[in-house]
Amino acid sequence: MEQLAEIASIIARNVTMDGFQATPIDRLTLVRSSTVTMPMPNVYRPQLCLVVQGRKEVALGDQVFQYAPGRYGVVTYDLPATGQVIDASPQRPYLCVYLDFDPVLLGELALRVPAPSVAPSTPIGKSVSDAGVALLDAVLRLLRLLEDSAARPVLAPLAEQEILYHLLAGPEGARMRYVTSSHGRLAQVGRAIAWIGKNFRERFSIDRLAKEVGMSPSSLYDHFRAVTAMTPLQFQKQLRLQDARSLMLVEHIDVATAAFRVGYESVSQFSREYRRLFGEPPARDIARLRTSPRLAVLA
């Protein structure tokens, strides 16, 4: 598509190094990777992700989502997922656009855009779809403003609203509304996700979590899996392991210290679960990340 070619050209002019590049437009981030990457777990925020060039995969629980040029993903909750760039080269790097959702703006638009009649399939928390011409046009208009500083303050908010409109009116419109929902079972699951995000280093039971958000344990378990493709304890485990990895990389602490700090009582159990998620024992994985940082670009 012509739109994808122009979007790719704008990203290439504005991002010359691999990694994430913040932009002068609020909530808009550009990504470039000139090589395939190792699987990189990360907590994905509520956002739009549009792949412009190259390919990637994102695993959420037992679900795997495939991205190709012109495909976009919508995340409606803070979710621990694993992304990997699987098609990229220096001649044709992986290029991607992220737009974080503004819940206030999204909520205002959701009241004005008719809700779709078809409910989304599970998992509700994440999806991938093909971008239509109208959505690509809106993204292109927003990116053109990166090179028009005079028009940017006036037109960028309008272009962002246009993007959100097409998402709300499109196949993922029902999912988009969950970002702004404050009632019902899915809103309670959202509160459970937020509670685990704040307390994942502490031990908890399903009964306690259910009481925190006002649900029965069985209802919470079923709805939580529908949203995240994980159980609450699997969700907690991913957050713990990601946190431990970050601690070892940034603070240069040893494996045992990281394990205990994120809530593990057994270093051997921590090492087994770490290897299961990241593919290597903790010390070897951290050494690999330090010697090959380009392989660790988040997708």
Distance CA 81, CA 65 (A): 10
Check whether 117 has a pLDDT greater than 80.
no
Q: Which residues of 198-222 are buried (b: 16+ CB within 10 A; e: fewer)?
A: ebbeeeeebeebbebbebeeeebbe
Say if residues 59 and 28 touch (Cβ distance below 8 Å).
Answer: no
Say if residues 244 and 262 touch (Cβ distance below 8 Å).
Answer: yes
Residue 52 CA from chain centroid, whole number: 16
Tokens of 197: 């995000």
Residue 172: its pLDDT value, please?
A: 80
Check whether 120 has a pLDDT greater than 90.
no
pLDDT tens per residue, range 35-74: 998 888 888 889 999 999 999 999 888 889 999 999 999 9
Residue 241: its pLDDT value, please?
A: 95
As to burial, measured by CB atoms within 10 angstroms (0-12 exposed, 13-18 middle, 19+ buried), residue 49 is buried
Residue 17 CA from chain centroid, whole number: 21
Residue 42: its pLDDT value, please?
A: 86
Say if residues 80 and 43 touch (Cβ distance below 8 Å).
Answer: yes
Check whether 96 has a pLDDT greater than 70.
yes
* Strands 47-53 and 94-100, bridge-based pairing: antiparallel
Residue 122: its pLDDT value, please?
A: 55
Residue 47: its pLDDT value, please?
A: 93
* CATH H-level superfamily of 2-178: Jelly Rolls (2.60.120.10)
Residue 119: its pLDDT value, please?
A: 62
Q: What percent of the chain has pLDDT over 90?
A: 66
* CATH H-level superfamily of 234-296: Homeodomain-like (1.10.10.60)
As to burial, measured by CB atoms within 10 angstroms (0-12 exposed, 13-18 middle, 19+ buried), residue 291 is exposed
Q: Which residue has the higher pLDDT, 154 or 279?
A: 154
pLDDT tens per residue, range 160-188: 999 999 999 888 887 787 777 666 677 88
Average pLDDT, the chain: 90
Q: Which residue has the higher pLDDT, 106 or 27?
A: 27
Residue 174: its pLDDT value, please?
A: 78
Q: Which residues of 90-125 are buried (b: 16+ CB within 10 A; e: fewer)?
A: eeebbbbbbbebbeeebeebbeebeebeeebeebbb
Residue 141: its pLDDT value, please?
A: 97
Residue 296: its pLDDT value, please?
A: 58
pLDDT tens per residue, range 212-270: 999 999 999 998 998 888 999 999 999 999 999 999 988 999 999 999 999 999 999 99
Residues in CB range of 124: below 8 A, 6 or more apart: 76, 175, 178, 186, 226, 227
* Helix or strand run (H / E) with residue 62: none
